[in-house]
Amino acid sequence: MVEIISKPNGPRREDAAAKHYLRENSATIMKIANHLSGGRLNQNPPVVPSATMPRNARSPAVVRRNEEPRPYASVSLNGRVVVVDFNTGRQLLHLGEIRGRGAGRRFLLATTENHFFEPLDPSLQALLADIDGRPAPDDVVLDGLVATIDTRLGYSKPGQAT
């Protein structure tokens, strides 16, 4: 014997119960949502609460437009060697990667020969060509590599004057 089970017409019993619960409690739900959003849920347009932010705090989205970028070289946790703007924290350039493990760790410049999809500008490649493939077995050597990149590109460390 074969039983045919078909989908019933209309909403499921659970869906109907959920819609009914939300409809009955919509005023309470809106009150909680308005409280959690700081009253911005019902406002058109939303107001940024500048009085609650400390005077010296700058969120990443609020950056002075006239401010010149202050680039410096850095190595991220995943081994990417990048140029970062100190003012905004945004990546400006991807220079290459640290690949390998232990004593075999090396810096590879972002070139097509090293299998990077977006290679560096040829002028930057010329400045950094001799450090391509340089060993970077530990953090001390890695710090020296970053200092070399900063020097060659004319950058200063974030703590130093520009």
Task: Give the integer Cα–Cα distance in Å for 121 and 110.
Answer: 9
Residue 135 is assigned to a structural domain of this protein = yes
pLDDT in tens, 49-105: 454 445 544 554 455 556 788 899 999 888 899 999 888 888 899 999 999 888 888
Same domain, 89 and 31: no
Same domain, 127 and 88: yes
Give me the domain span that covers residue 110: 71-153
Residue 83 is assigned to a structural domain of this protein = yes
Task: Give the integer Cα–Cα distance in Å for 59 and 62.
Answer: 5
pLDDT in tens, 15-55: 889 999 999 999 998 888 888 877 777 765 544 545 444 55
Q: Give CA separation, 136 vs 76, 90, 115, 153, in Å.
A: 14, 25, 19, 19
Tally Cβ neighbours within 10 Å of residue 137.
Answer: 14
Same domain, 26 and 100: no
Task: Give the integer Cα–Cα distance in Å for 109 and 73.
Answer: 13
The predicted model scores a pTM of 0.56
